[in-house]
């Protein structure tokens, strides 16, 4: 029979394993710690103990944890994330032979809500691209930022990581470092190429030693970080749309949706976005299908139960 093992000791060793062997980022480890702390609090409350033991982690308690999260108003996406953290923890404990079986292995996470991405219409995207003041240095830079985000569908972290040498002007393409350290080359369009060319004629006005060879520089000459890119995009989006979400990712969503609307294949769009699997890209097909369905309902004479519109009836 296994000896009693304090739950918090197992958690501490699991977090050390993530840091030292898995090389997870501090932010990711903090997220795991928060999720496991939430489960610790559940065990204390449900069992009426101050010091839960590893043996207290049963399938019943895990299901009770999920029910408690749901009752507390947690979204299904958040519940799924907390359960995933718990599953990783119990798998680690089983591998360390601290548990005879994995109580979380057969617990199924709730299906997450299907949230359609926020995007701009093509007219809104066009208005956004025309918003910066091209008579100013910062305006030319901002125009290049907006054009590249929309034309290449980049994440803001990818945009911040671009160096001068990463831009292939001859082939209108840019090399970026995506998630997981995966490098890819993404083409961009004529308008983005023109905006980049205009920006590079004035980049020296922003350049400082601190900026190095970063493509995009702030007004102080420093390389942009993600928050800076977010502020630039939000400032211009506030001028052209009333929708609540105003972020660089909206331009990425718009890029993908507009490509699919124009007939691009889902596999090719996924490669441009740097998605590891098609499931990540398929959310955009829901958007385009919904738009096509709306257009069909408005235009096709047999789309509704009301019959053929009078204007379409034969004399």
Question: What pLDDT shows up at residue 311?
Answer: 37
Domain-embedded: residue 245: yes
Do 136 and 228 sit in the same domain of this protein? yes
For the segment 244-257, the average pLDDT, to the nearest whole number, is 92
Do 57 and 154 sit in the same domain of this protein? no
Do 176 and 293 sit in the same domain of this protein? yes
Question: What pLDDT shows up at residue 310?
Answer: 39
Catalytic residue among 32, 150, 236, 284: 284
Do 262 and 144 sit in the same domain of this protein? yes
Residue 44 a catalytic site member: no
Rounded CA Rg of the chain:
25
Residue 275 a catalytic site member: yes
Do 173 and 32 sit in the same domain of this protein? no
Do 144 and 247 sit in the same domain of this protein? yes
Domain-embedded: residue 37: yes
Where in the sequence is the domain holding 54, given as residue range(s)?
Answer: 7-95
Q: Whole-angstrom distance between the N-terminal and C-terminal Cα of the chain? A: 89
Residue 249 a catalytic site member: yes
Q: Identify the weakest region by mean pLDDT among 30-34, 146-150, 171-175, 301-305.
A: 301-305
Residue 245 a catalytic site member: no
Question: What pLDDT shows up at residue 242?
Answer: 86
Q: Look up residue 51 and give its DSSP letter.
A: S
Do 32 and 176 sit in the same domain of this protein? no
Domain-embedded: residue 314: no
Q: Does residue 3 have a pLDDT over 80?
A: no
Question: What pLDDT shows up at residue 308?
Answer: 39
CATH number for the domain harbouring residue 178: 1.10.443.10
Catalytic residue among 179, 182, 190, 197: 179
Residue 258 a catalytic site member: no
**Contact in structure between 27 and 19 (CB atoms under 8 Å):** no
pLDDT tens-digit map of 71-86: 998 988 899 999 999 9
pLDDT tens-digit map of 184-200: 999 999 999 999 999 99
Do 89 and 133 sit in the same domain of this protein? no
Residue 76 a catalytic site member: no
**Element containing residue 305 per DSSP (H, E):** none
Question: What pLDDT shows up at residue 208?
Answer: 94
Pairing label, strands 183-187, 167-168: unpaired
Domain-embedded: residue 110: no
Catalytic residue among 82, 141, 203, 252: 252
Angle, helices 283-299 vs 266-273, to 10°: value is 130
Do 34 and 129 sit in the same domain of this protein? no
Edge-to-edge strand list for the sheet holding 183-187: 167-168, 173-177, 183-187
**What contacts 73, CB < 8 A, 6 or more positions away?**
none
Torsion 80-227-269-182 (CA) sign: negative
Do 206 and 126 sit in the same domain of this protein? yes
Domain-embedded: residue 155: yes
Q: Model-level pTM?
A: 0.61
Residues in the chain: 315
Domain count of the chain?
A: 2
Domain-embedded: residue 306: no
pLDDT tens-digit map of 110-122: 776 666 678 899 9
Catalytic residue among 155, 156, 246, 258: 155
**Element containing residue 24 per DSSP (H, E):** none
Average pLDDT, the chain: 88
Do 91 and 126 sit in the same domain of this protein? no
Domain-embedded: residue 143: yes
d(CA 39, CA 86): 8
pLDDT band at 2 (very low <50, low <70, confident <90, very high): low
CATH number for the domain harbouring residue 33: 1.10.150
Domain-embedded: residue 213: yes
Do 79 and 134 sit in the same domain of this protein? no
Q: Does residue 315 have a pLDDT over 60?
A: no
């Amino acid at each position: 029979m296994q000896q009693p093992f304090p739950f918090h000791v197992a958690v501490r060793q699991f977090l050390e394993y993530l840091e030292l062997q898995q090389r997870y980022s501090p932010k990711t480890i903090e997220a795991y710690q928060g999720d496991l702390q939430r489960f610790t609090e559940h065990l204390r409350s449900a069992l009426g103990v101050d010091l839960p033991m590893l043996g207290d982690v049963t399938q019943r308690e895990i299901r009770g944890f999920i029910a408690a999260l749901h009752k507390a108003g947690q979204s299904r996406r958040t519940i799924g994330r907390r359960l995933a953290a718990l599953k990783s923890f119990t798998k680690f404990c089983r591998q360390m032979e601290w548990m005879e079986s994995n109580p979380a292995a057969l617990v199924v996470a709730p299906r997450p809500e299907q949230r359609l991405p926020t995007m701009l219409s093509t007219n809104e995207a066009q208005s956004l691209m025309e918003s910066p003041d091209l008579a100013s240095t910062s305006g030319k830079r901002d125009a290049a930022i907006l054009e590249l985000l929309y034309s290449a569908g980049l994440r803001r972290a990818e945009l911040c990581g671009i160096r001068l040498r990463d831009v292939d002007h001859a082939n209108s393409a840019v090399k970026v470092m995506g998630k997981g350290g995966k490098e890819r080359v993404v083409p961009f369009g004529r308008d983005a190429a023109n905006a980049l060319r205009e920006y590079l004629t004035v980049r020296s006005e922003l350049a400082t030693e601190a900026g190095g060879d970063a493509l995009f520089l702030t007004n102080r000459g420093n390389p942009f970080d993600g928050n800076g890119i977010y502020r630039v995009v939000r400032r211009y989006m506030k001028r052209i749309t009333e929708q609540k979400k105003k972020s660089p990712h909206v331009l990425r969503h718009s890029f993908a949706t507009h490509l699919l609307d124009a007939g691009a294949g889902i596999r090719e769009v996924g490669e441009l976005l740097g998605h590891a699997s098609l499931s990540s890209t398929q959310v955009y097909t829901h958007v385009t299908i919904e738009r096509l369905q709306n257009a069909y309902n408005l235009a096709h004479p047999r789309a509704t139960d009301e019959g053929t519109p009078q204007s379409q009836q034969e004399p």
